[in-house]
Amino acid sequence: MFPALETALDLREAVRVAARNRRIALNITQADLAVRSGVPLGTLKRFERLGEVSLSSLLAIAEALDALEGFHALFPMPEARTLDEVEHHAARPKRARSRARG
């Protein structure tokens, strides 16, 4: 989907440009996308100009542009090389119990 990117800033720029290009290709105005996504117009404009946006807003924009599928592969599990690693990855981490407030 994206060429080999060197840094987080490179990826941010690529996401910014891709989102803007998809919006334009779908013939959606910034104002329309703001309404469809629930993201304030100023936030959307800042994202398209600078690439700065919260994760919640980015996901709302991606959903409104029918482009959520790429987010599922963001944090893949590492490949297991041994049976012990397979079992370790299969075990779900348990949450620590919080202390009772007193």
Query: Running DSSP on this structure, what letter comes out for residue 93?
Result: P
Q: Please tell me the pTM assigned to this model.
A: 0.73
Do residues 41 and 30 make contact, with C-beta atoms less than 8 angstroms apart? yes
Task: Say which residues have a Cβ less than 8 Å from residue 28's Cβ, sequence separation at least 6.
Answer: 36, 65
Domain boundaries, the chain: 8-74
CATH topology for 8-74 is: 434 Repressor (Amino-terminal Domain) (1.10.260)
Q: In the prediction, which pLDDT does 97 show?
A: 64
Q: How many helical (H) and strand (E) elements, i.e. helices and strands, does the chain have?
A: 5, 0
3-state secondary structure of 51: coil
Q: In the prediction, which pLDDT does 102 show?
A: 53
- One digit per residue, the tens of pLDDT, for the chain of length 102 reads 555 668 999 999 999 999 999 999 999 999 999 999 999 999 999 999 999 999 999 999 999 999 999 888 888 878 877 877 777 767 766 666 666 655
